[in-house]
Structure 1
Amino acid sequence: MEQVDARWRSGTDRTVVRVQDKVQVAEGVVTLTLTAPDGGRLPDWTPGAHVDLTLENGLTRQYSLCGDRWDAHSYRVGVLLEPAGRGGSSYVHEQLEPGHVLGLGGPRNNFPLVPAESYLFVAGGIGITPVLPMIAQADLLGADWQLLYGGRTRSSMAFLDELSAHGDRVQVRPQDEFGLLDLPAFLGEPRPGTPVYACGPAPLLAALETACAGWPARALHTERFVAADQGAPVRTTAFDVELHRSGRTVTVTPDTSVLEALAAAGVEVLSSCRQGTCGTCETTVLAGVPDHRDSLLDDDERAAGDCMYPCVSRSCSDRLVLDL
């Protein structure tokens, strides 16, 4: 097996994969098929899961798994080219080739599919990727479902051939042909027991939150590409973070994240997005009150206060005790 960079072995859930195949599936979208270098079994996953890929240029990015979850020997991810991004997608599109070896973290699932007899799915652009395995799971269980899929143009929308097999359960609505998605018409009247799953750009998710205002609590499940605006932090003064395992204390100043303060003190916490959207840096809180500033936890999880994402979250109390 190829020699692997040591940074890919920084966490217990890290492994390596080889790019088996790279396919253009839409304008600006490629899929990567990933396999273990020795052809062995990859970790199991569930619909909604994502992996962290550490690219050969050192960048780490998150991609939703969009292949067959019952295929134990390969993963599939879809990657949208974002010219104004931070360089990860450009590297994948322009330099990554079959045969290259990548570091892989996860899978992790912050967007799990809850059991139900019916579902409504909404996808915008590359947000279709986590929805594909959800549809397969709903089909497997015999649940009723409908999908509303939007994008800039038909040519930019990936996996249309695969989705065509589902007939009129899938509504494909390119913006240049239909305008903005008609969410109220698709959702209809609130349906108790029918969760709504959505992934896509922030304006779409904001519109969905408005459209689902009359639905039962927690009916809407979303996954974000970009962190939601959390407003100003609760406190603007420094606070201390006690590391329970080592007994050390690290001071976090107002202009430094908890993650940055830990790194400066030589404490490595596996991280990726640094926006509070991927869940990679989840850390257990043993004492203190976190100031949750992520886009992952729901209200009950925030109230519990037993975990936090140190890349963005801070502290309401003078001291936090973390399981580090």
Structure 2
Amino acid sequence: MSQADMKIEELTNEAQRGELLEGPHWDVERQSLYYVDIVAPAIFRYDYKNGEIYRATIKDNNAAIGFFIPVEGTTDEFVIGANREVLLIKWDGKSSQASISKVLVEVDKAFSGNRCNDGKVDPSGVLFFGTMGDESKYDLSKTRVGSFYRFKDSTTGAFELKNEIGISNGLTWDETNKKFFYIDSVTRDVKVYDYNQTTSEISNESILIDFSKSHSGSSFAPDGMTIDENGIIYVATWNGSRIIVINPITKKIIQEIPMPTAQVTSLAFGGPNFDILFVTTAGKPKPKLPPAGGLFKITGLGVKGLPMKSFKHY
């Protein structure tokens, strides 16, 4: 993984940069990267073949969008986290507007200002997602009113896996070693769990790495996360201007990839060979100089990622 061969390029132009780009998801069948601007709010599709970026808003809904994931077996259905709801939507991938099909589940009813943040689908097609409190109302480092959920279908509803979460963020799975990794940005660490693919249960929480110790002189917060085919994890850093690469077996940081902007929000492997690392960033808090808020690709890492899962709509 030589930095000499590594190349970082922005895929967005000035007009396409966002305030809070997040949630990249590579779709193998469509050879496209889906992502969101939480604040706009808007959903996007980057078409790898033609290099075009398509943008859409959700009809009759202006809720903050935390995640945006394709539904398995469809070409135009997605699940999104919109404020405190998980919605099923329809979008053709090109039009400027998507439509809501139905509300799948509502969470955090005791905290009306909460919203969904990061979410992904596990190897079995089950949705995992988390929430966070209203930053304008709470100091989230002290008042932790978010939760972390597992969601399979509307009949059983959302199962709360953890509560008292500050900012629910990065999550990824290691199928080979049967591990699940999770980030609450407020605690500034990466937690690891045993993962049961048959039941989608997680257990035996422990801390993989504590950034308040490994980077005691820095104030960045860990954000989004992904994994490569070798089980190495990649952590985006809010206010850190870098991606931190960790070997979960040795619990050691093996590389830090510098980024051209401070607020690095999330990342996902994709491309025809899964050897491109796509990275989202934020343009907030303002003022932020370009290329803050851009979508980037990193090539030449010498590693490959794994296919991301779509949601199984039971």
TM-score for both structures, normalised by structure 2 = 0.30
Bigger fraction of residues in helix: 1
Bigger fraction of residues in strand: 2
Which structure ranks higher in relative contact order (CA pairs < 8 Å, sequence separation ≥ 6)?
2
Q: Please tell me whether Structure 1 or Structure 2 has the larger radius of gyration of its CA atoms.
A: 1
TM-score for both structures, normalised by structure 1 = 0.30
